[in-house]
Structure 1
Amino acid sequence: MSDLFANAGFEKDAPRPLADRLRPESLSEVVGQDHLLGAGAPLRRMLDTQRLSSLILWGPPGVGKTTIARLLATEANLEFEQISAIFTGVADLRKVFDRAKARRSAGQGTLLFVDEIHRFNKAQQDGFLPHVEAGVITLIGATTENPSFELNAALLSRAQVFTLKRLDEDAIERLFQRAEKESGRKLPLTEEARKALAIMADGDGRFSLNLAEEILAEPKDRKPIEVSELGAIVQRRAPVYDKGQESHYNLASALQKSIRGSDVDAALYWAARMVVGGEDPKFIFRRLVVIASEDIGNADPQALPMAVAAKNAFEFLGQPEGEIALGQLVAYLASAPKSNRAYAAFKKAKALARETGSLPPPPHAMNAPTKLMKSLGYSDGYVYDHDTEDGFAGLNYFPEDLPRTKFYEPTQFGFDKEIAKRLQYWERKRREKE
């Protein structure tokens, strides 16, 4: 039915969103991706040498992946076919490949654009390979997820990956100017509100034009809109955050590294991003408990109990009050002295434990609750430390056939410094008792 309307010429007269009306008609009109499309950039070189290969376009929503694919097809003189991995099954793919083969026999190539390609399973992704290798199609896949994690190695080996950037404020401003030229009027915004609107777009070109369209729908005689009024006029976009995919781990990594780097304000920002994005608070607190042990450790022994207490407080209070405890914990951990020496020491101990197998403890380290065990020498030579004058017997508790190994070397930061003094004291006493 839609084809009948299009053939009758009605489609061109139908209302179209501003973002659709301003869709670039040439690659030079695409904003924010000069690193790929500018003079001498990779995609431009491919077109100039007429060697367009299969590609994966990786980037956030609204940065031009579909538009670029369509324009590449035009410039390379290829028939453009578009499918979505969400709505396409095996039978649909077979029809696409059959059409591409028919075109090829007639001397016409096909550029197949697959949106959300990461949503195809391994078998479906493998299904593209013979058609790519035979030259039946030039494949361009679009994904918002890291191709290294979501796409098969075999497919990645046959397609170059190009990363598209989220649009910066300059690129968003260029889109606003195009919207004003298309509509024949200026956006009725104060300078501060215009900047705020660009920030609200969150690097998404399509969304920025949707916002502009809402603003342009305001009465022509109204006063310039202030920042305080924007929220009542346009719908603020939720930050791009997929709790099950790469952004989930990227933000968790940014949080941990900010805390490790003692950057309190950045740590609070990334924790807030996770909360605002709808992250499960349990996941955030798990990371913070890990950080308390891994990155702070014995430099501040209160970090771990505080992390557990903050987690319990959050569970008791719920949201939003529980977020107070979350913020307090993040600020505390980021400002605490740092030491990973206990964490590193245990990793070394585990490595040696794997190498040395089943070496038994020395006899004095084992209990002898039975006569047989006593007769075998269990507990022989053991000295009860509390019975000694200085509370330290100085026995060696490593296996008899294993030389003593130093795993734990505290830093000179925070409480770690006091622990280092204790270890030096006991080491000196042990040598005296040998």
Structure 2
Amino acid sequence: MSVQINVKRLNSKDAGFKEILLSSLSLLMADDDAIDAAVVKILAAVKDQGDEAVLNFTKQFDRLNVSSVSELEIPRGDLELAYNSLSLEQKEALDIAAQRVRAYHEIQKIEAGCHSWEYKEQDDTRLGQKVTPLDRVGIYVPGGKAAYPSSVLMNAIPAKVAGVAEVIMVVPTPEGARNPLVLAAAYLAGVDRVFTIGGAQAVGALAYGTKTISSMDKIVGPGNAYVAAAKRRVFGTVGIDMIAGPSEILVLCDGSSNPDWIAMDLFSQAEHDEQAQSILLCPDAAFIEQVQVSINRLLPEMPRAQVIEASLTNRALLIQVKDMAEACEIANAIAAEHLEICARDARKWAEQIRHAGAIFMGNYTSESLGDYCAGPNHVLPTARTARFSSPLGVYDFIKRSSMIEVSEAGAQTLGAVASTLAHGEGLQAHARAAEMRLKK
């Protein structure tokens, strides 16, 4: 059995190709006036009414009718029970994934310079940097269309590796349905408190604080359009990781791969959401046609076939390019969240990539391995923001303070410089503060 989905085709030789391509790329989920207007009202209510607003919205959106927010907190003992209730296969998979994610971020903490340092100049002036973890971090875990234990690991583990003292997790549980894998992941990752709330109201509670929920220093984690809009709105009151858009995958293929593998890799992001985007760049027209045939043959096997079909029909692109070098140029313009290079000598082509959230090299490196257990973080920039931002990491949960200790001798040199520049800016008090420390 097969279906007939005609994924949109483009050719880099086509007139107006660049404009057509850029207009087809995913937009940020927060860019919707109606959603933003609704989020403004929700956040204002949470800021003003606290727990009461959280309860009202949780009843309205998740159909949970409780009398206090404390009833929406899951005791840590229940998280351990959820972990112990897993099958041996699930428990081992979660353990391995958590171990690999933790190991990667422990190394990242060292190699990415997430530590303090200092040096001394000849006149005994000391300069450096003090690195300290954030005190409190809130992590948002989606709980609507699917459950995401992997998101728990990817958000909570680097926070704990960074040394964050308190991690609070919020996860919507419509009609009270709790996913044991999500709770078990929270237990393994060391999450301190878990509340079964979601949506913009959860973001508001984490940002502003309520009687029951402490205000956070930063909020991280993916969510729907309402969550994305809420994170944008509370930025400045708290830090955020990024404004996420629909999930994306871009596959660069030279035609040497198994077309069934490529089709399934395109499915892997399409099944997230109807607005997710899957793109193939390939110089081999015959191979592109083989991938189209694979898509039609394999789709009926997918439990989420309806979502995949909507995503592929409305958002996917199969693009013929001149060669792999041009594919890399186009990939840099797209700046995709997930970039697979399924080709001979994949590392050679990876060297030409400047903009991508994560780069998966070689035919055996499916994007799904990165989503779950490879080790690097799967919270990645979307909607072309990989041009200027990075995956979530330990560095997102620390802050840097400049350390300056000027010696008496150093003050003589630096004071004169500061005085001259301050007078030039018309800031006499700045100048005098430096001059007072100069020897007469």
Q: Same fold (TM over 0.5)?
A: no
More strand by share: 2
Normalised to the residue count of structure 1, the TM-score between the two structures is: 0.28
More helix by share: 1
Normalised to the residue count of structure 2, the TM-score between the two structures is: 0.28
Larger RCO (CA under 8 A, 6+ residues apart): 2
